[in-house]
Structure 1
Amino acid sequence: MVQLHTDRLHGSVTAPVLGSISFLNEVMSRHPGAISFAPGAPHPDTLPDVDVQRFTDRFLDHAVVRGASPDRARRLLFEYGPARGLINDIVAEALRQDYGIDAPPESYVITVGAQEAMLLVLRALFRSSGDVLAVANPCFVGITGAARLLDVDVLGVDETAHGLDLDGLARSCQEARAAGRAVRALYVAPDYSNPGGSRMTLDCRHRLLALAAREDLLLLEDNAYGFTAAADDELPSLKAIDTEGRVIHIGTFAKTAFPGARVGFVIADQRVDGGDARILADVLASIKSMVTVNTSPLSQAVIGGMLLEHGGSLDRLSRTKSELYRRNLHLLLDALDRDLGSPPPGVHWNRPDGGFFVRVHLPVPADTDLLEVSAAEYGVLWTPMRQFFLDGAGDTQIRLSCSYLDPDGIDEGVRRLAAFLTKETRQ
C-alpha cells in the first residue's frame, strides 16, 4: 500500500485552523451528556417548518410565470444548471427590498454556502504573493482557512467593541507598502462578527468605506448575522452605502432558512477590464464551474420557494428566527449575570446585542486540557478562542454560542459553567 507523508502534501493539511471544527465534534461525541455552548448552528426549532415539496412547487410556479413550460421548469431541478445560479432574480429582489442593496441579478453568483463564496473571491482576487488579505483579529475560521488553502497571506487587524480598529488598518496598509506589499482586500463582518461579537457603528462604516477608497482596498463583507438585529436597531450594510463599488457582499441562507440546503451567494458587480469578462461575477462563475460546477438546483428551488412564500422578503423569512436568537442571547447574558454576579478574578465577558456569540475572558489558558475538564467533570462545553486569533491573543478566552440551546439548557449550562469557572480558573 502506498504511504503518503505530510511533507509531500499541501501545507494547509496540517494547519490547526482546518482541524478546529472536527476537534470540537470529537469532544462532543465523547461527552454526549454535556451541555454544549460550542456549535454556532441554527436552533432545531427553526427547522420543522421546512416543507421541501411545497417550497419546491412554489419555485416551479414562479419559473412557469417567468416563461418556462411546466416540463422545462421541472427539468431545471434535475439538470446541472448554470454556474451563476437559478434564483438570482429572487435573491436580488429580496436584498433590494429589505436591505437597500440595488444590484442586478447578473451580479449575483449562487454558491454552495458562504464558504464557497469566500473561496471563489479569494481565488479571483489574489494573484500575486505580494498581495495580503486583512482580517479582523479574532476572525471567522472559514475565511482564514480558505486563505490558507490558497496560500494567501493574512494580516490581522484588532477588533474593538465598535468594529475594526481603523487606525490600525491604515497603519497596516502603510507598513505593507513600505515592505513592498499591498493589502488587496479586507474581510469584514460589520454586524455581530463571529467570534468577536462586535458591531460597527454607522460612522465607522462610512469611515471604513472612505479608508478603502484612500488605500484602494476591496471590502469582502460577510453578513451572516445582520438579520438578528432588532427591527428598530438595523444599520445599513456596507454594500447598501457603497458608492464606489468597493464592497463584495457575501451572504448565506444557513441561518435565515436552513443549513442543510448549503446555499449562499456573493454580489460582485465590480467591472473587470481586459479579456471577455464584464463584471467580477462573470469571473467567479467561471471559477465555480471548475470547483462545484453549479449549486444544487433542488436546494436553490427550496430556498427560492421559501423566499417567494414570504412575499419575496428575506426579512419576513427570518423574523421569527431573529426573535428566537435575540431571546437566547438575552437569556445567556442574564444567566451569566445571575450565576456569576461576582465573577472570579479575571473572568469577564462582552455584552453584544445581537448575533450568536459571547466571549468570556479567563485568568488561565483556555486550552484543550481545560476543555476536557469542563466536559468530563462539569458537563459543559465551549469553544476555545485560540483558533480565531492570528497572534495567540485568544489563549485565555472562550466563546459561548446561544443559538442551539433551549432556555432550560442555557440556564443549566450556565450553572455548570459558573461552577467550572469558580473552581478551575483560580490562579
Structure 2
Amino acid sequence: MLSFDLASLHAGIVDPEMDSMRILSETALRFPDALSFSSGAPYDGNHDLSALTFYIDRYIKHLRERGVPEARITRLLFQYGPVNGLIQDEVALMLKRDEDIDVPAEAIMITHGFQEAALVALRGLFTSPDDVLLAVSPAYVGIRGAARMLDIPVRGVAEGPEGLDPQTVAETARAVRAEGKRVAALYLVPDFNNPSGTVLPRAARQRLLDVAAEEDFVVLEDNPYGLFARDGESQPTLKSLDTRRRVVYLGSFAKSAFPGARLGYLVADQEVTEPSGTVRTLAQTLSKAKAMFTVGSSTLSQAVIGGYLVEHDHDLRSATRELAAVYLERLDTVLAALDEHFPAGGDHGVAWNTPRGGFFLTLTVPFTADLAAMERSARDYGVSWAPMTMFHLDGGGEREIRLGFSNLAPDAIREGIARLARFVTDASKDGATTTPKHPAPEIPEGQA
C-alpha cells in the first residue's frame, strides 16, 4: 500500500508554519466553550436565508432588464461560466462609486475569495526564482502561504505605528537588487492591517506609489476592511491614487456580504501586448492561470453578490454602514474593557495599540505568547487568541497576541477580556516570562 513520508511532499505542505490558517480556524472547534478572539470571522447576526433567493432573483431580473435572452440566463447560471466571471460590470460600478477606482469591466476577474486572487496575481507576476515578494510584516498568513505554495521567496518589511514606511520599502528593494535579485511585487493591507490594525496615511500612500515606480515593482493592495472606517475617516485606496497603473487591487465580499459565497475579485488594468500585437488587460491575460486553478467562480455565488450590488445601486459603502457600526461598537468595547482590566500606570506589563477600525488589535504581554500558551488559555480560562508569531515574516512577536473582536457581541467581549486578564495575571506569575529572541516592540505614544 502506497504511503508517504511527510518530508517527501512539497515544502509548502511540510512547513509547519503553513498550519497557521488551519489552526486559527479550528481553535473554536477544539475549544467550543472558549470565547474566541483567535479568528477574524465576520459578524453573522445579519444573515437571512431568504435573502439568498431574493438576491438571486434580483440578479436574474437585472439580466432580463438588460435584454439577456432567457436561454442565455439559464446557461449562465447552470453551466460553466466565463472564466473571469459574470459580474464584472456590477463590480466595476461598485468600485467607481465606493472607491473612485475607474476601470473597465475587462480589468476585473471574479475569484474564489482573496486567496485565489492572490494566487493568480503571484503566478502571473513572478517569473524567475530570483523574483522576490516584499510583504508588510506582520502580515496576513494567507499571503505567505500563497507565496510558499508557489515557491516564491518573501522578504518582510517591518511596519511601524502607521504602517509601512515607504523609505524602508525603497531601501529593502535596493538591498534585494544588490543581492542580484528582483522585487516583483509588494503586498500590504493599507487600511486596518490584519493583524495589527494599522492605517497607512495618505502622504505615505502617495510616496509608496512613487517608490513602486522608482524601484519598478507592482503593489498588491489587499483591502478587506476599508469599508469599516469611522465616518469621515476613510482613506483613498492606493488604486484610486494610481496614475501609473502600478497597483493590482485585491478585494473580497467575505466581510461586506458573507464569507460562504467565497467570492472576491482582482483588478488589473495594466496593458499586456501579445506577440500578434493584440493588447489586453492583465486581468484578461491572467485568466489562463485562473482557468487552471478553478476553471471559473461559482455562478450561483456571483448571482447572489450581483443581486446584492444591483439592489443597493452598487453602493456597498452605504449598504454596510450598519455593519460598520457593529464593528466599531465592538472595537470600542474591547478598548474600554482593556482599560478597565489593565489600567494605565499599573504594573501588569500589558500594552496595546488603538486602531480606528477594522477587526483586530495587538496586545503586548509579559510572557511568551506561543501556541502552547494559547491552548492553555482556551482550555483552562475559556478564552482564545492568536499568537503574533504566526504573522511575523522574519521572526518577532513572541510577546504579542492578536485579538480579533469582529464576531463577538459586546457582553461576550467584556467577559472574554476578563478571562484574558486572569490568564495574563497567572501566566506572568507562573514564570512564563522567558526572554524572547526579539524584544517586544515599543508602544507608540498615546496607546494604553
Normalising by structure 1, we get a TM-score of 0.97
Secondary structure of 2:272 counterpart? coil
Shift of residue 173, structure 1, vs aligned partner: 1.0
Shift of residue 111, structure 1, vs aligned partner: 0.3
Work out which of the residue numbers 271, 287, 309 in structure 1 matches 2:311: 309
The amino acid across from 1:204 in the alignment is A
Percent identical? 45
Shift of residue 50, structure 1, vs aligned partner: 6.2
The amino acid across from 2:340 in the alignment is R
Corresponding position of 2:262 = 262
Corresponding position of 2:410 = 407
Corresponding position of 1:113 = 113
Work out which of the residue numbers 348, 358, 362 in structure 1 matches 2:351: 348
Assess, with a 3 A threshold, how the Cα gap between structure 1 residues 366 and 301 changes in structure 2: closer, same or farther. Answer: same
Work out which of the residue numbers 395, 400, 414 in structure 2 matches 1:397: 400
Whether the 8 Å CA contact 2:38–2:384 is kept in 1: the answer is yes
Q: How does 1:195-214 map to 2 (within 5 A)?
A: 195-214=195-214
- Does residue 362 (structure 1) correspond to residue 386 (structure 2)? The answer is no
Q: How does 1:99-248 map to 2 (within 5 A)?
A: 99-248=99-248
The 2-side partners of 1:250 and 1:353 are apart by 22
The 2-side partners of 1:370 and 1:341 are apart by 23
Unmatched segments (≥5 aa) in structure 1: none
Whether the 8 Å CA contact 1:60–1:74 is kept in 2: the answer is no
Whether the 8 Å CA contact 1:344–1:422 is kept in 2: the answer is no
Secondary structure of 1:90 counterpart? helix
Corresponding position of 2:81 = 81
Whether the 8 Å CA contact 2:327–2:406 is kept in 1: the answer is yes
Whether the 8 Å CA contact 1:307–1:317 is kept in 2: the answer is no
The 2-side partners of 1:296 and 1:186 are apart by 29
Shift of residue 206, structure 1, vs aligned partner: 0.6
Secondary structure of 2:203 counterpart? helix
Q: Deviations over 1:64-104 (max 9, x none)?
A: 12221233213211010101110000010011012100000
Assess, with a 3 A threshold, how the Cα gap between structure 1 residues 171 and 278 changes in structure 2: closer, same or farther. Answer: same
Q: Which range moved further: 14-23 or 332-341?
A: 14-23
The amino acid across from 2:125 in the alignment is L
Whether the 8 Å CA contact 1:359–1:400 is kept in 2: the answer is yes
Work out which of the residue numbers 371, 375, 378 in structure 2 matches 1:372: 375
Shift of residue 182, structure 1, vs aligned partner: 1.1
The 2-side partners of 1:392 and 1:278 are apart by 41
Shift of residue 316, structure 1, vs aligned partner: 2.4
Q: Deviations over 1:246-276 (max 9, x none)?
A: 0000000000000000010000011123335
The 1-side partners of 2:76 and 2:190 are apart by 36
Shift of residue 344, structure 1, vs aligned partner: 4.2
Q: Which range moved further: 374-383 or 62-71?
A: 62-71
Q: Which range moved further: 102-111 or 41-50?
A: 41-50
Assess, with a 3 A threshold, how the Cα gap between structure 1 residues 265 and 121 changes in structure 2: closer, same or farther. Answer: same
The amino acid across from 2:169 in the alignment is L
Work out which of the residue numbers 290, 293, 303 in structure 2 matches 1:291: 293
Number of equivalent positions? 427
Q: Which range moved further: 236-245 or 384-393?
A: 384-393
Whether the 8 Å CA contact 2:335–2:354 is kept in 1: the answer is yes
The 1-side partners of 2:25 and 2:97 are apart by 38
Secondary structure of 1:289 counterpart? helix
Shift of residue 345, structure 1, vs aligned partner: 4.1
Whether the 8 Å CA contact 1:60–1:70 is kept in 2: the answer is no
Shift of residue 113, structure 1, vs aligned partner: 0.4
Assess, with a 3 A threshold, how the Cα gap between structure 1 residues 24 and 114 changes in structure 2: closer, same or farther. Answer: closer
Whether the 8 Å CA contact 1:344–1:425 is kept in 2: the answer is no
Secondary structure of 1:245 counterpart? coil
The amino acid across from 1:409 in the alignment is A
Secondary structure of 1:416 counterpart? helix
Corresponding position of 2:333 = 331
Q: Which range moved further: 11-20 or 288-297?
A: 11-20
The 2-side partners of 1:221 and 1:401 are apart by 21
Whether the 8 Å CA contact 1:257–1:317 is kept in 2: the answer is no
Secondary structure of 2:250 counterpart? strand
The amino acid across from 2:12 in the alignment is S
Q: Deviations over 1:174-215 (max 9, x none)?
A: 111111111111001110010021100010101101111111
The amino acid across from 1:78 in the alignment is F
